[in-house]
Amino acid sequence: MDLIKEHPVLDVGYFKRHARVEFTFDGKHMEGYEGQPIAMALHANGVRVYRETPDMKRTRGFFCAIGKCSSCFMAVDGTPNVRTCVTPLEAGMRVETQRGKGRVAINPPAGE
């Protein structure tokens, strides 16, 4: 894991690291800290590519970390375009590389 183990100024306890939880990234089991943004957990696991753009198939990843740039959009538990840099990690989350614009499952209203 790419984690800072010691720091000259900050106590390691200062880092927001709560209970360790498991989640999956594209089906692979990974570990992270509950409540930390999903993007940070992925970065600590060495994952750099979070999505691919619709037309040019350019890779995108972590960038602004304040939920503003859309670079880190991923599909989380089936919901696309989740801002992973500001969305807290939960145990059992299913995180997937987003390819293209993402699809939202829409249930048509009854009767149509």
Partner 1 sequence: MMKETTTDILVIGGGAAGLSAAAEASSSGAKVTVVESDLHLGGQLVKQTHKFFGSKDEYAGTRGYKIADILLDEIKQNEKNVDVMTNTTITGYYIEDGMFTAMRGEESYIRIKPKKTIVATGAQERLIPFPNNDIPGVYGAGAVQTLMNVYGVTPGHRVLMIGAGNIGLIVSYQLMQAGVEVAAVVEAMPKVGGYWVHAAKIRRMGVPILLRHSIKEALGDRVIDGAVIMELDDKFAPTGAERKIDCDVICLAVGLTPTTEILSQAGCDMRYVPQLCGFVALRDRTMRTSNPDFWSAGDATGIEEASAAMVEGRIAGLCAARSLGLPVKSDRFDEYWSRLDHLRAGEVGEKIRAGVAKVMRDRWED
Partner 2 sequence: MNENEMLFSSGVLTGERKGAVSPPESLWNDKKGGLVVVECPQRIPCNPCNTSCPVGAIKTFADINDTPEIDYSKCTGCAICAAVCPGLACFVIDLSFSPDKALYKLPYEMLPVPSKGDSVDCLGRTGEVLAKGTVEAVTEPKRDRTHVVHVSAPKELARDIRAIRVVK
Using CB under 8 A, list all residues that contact partner 1: 2-4, 7-10, 12, 14-17, 33, 35-37, 40, 43-44, 48-50, 58-69, 71, 79, 82-83, 85-88
CA–CA separation, 62 and 72 (whole Å): 5
* 112 belongs to the binding site for partner 2 (CB under 8 A): no
Binding-site member from 8, 13, 46, 109 for partner 2 (CB under 8 A): 8
* 7 belongs to the binding site for partner 2 (CB under 8 A): yes
Q: What residue type is assigned to position 58 of the chain?
A: R
Closest CA to 84 of 99, 103, 102, 69: 69
Binding residues among 44-63 for partner 2 as defined by CB under 8 A: none
Closest CA to 95 of 110, 106, 107, 80: 80
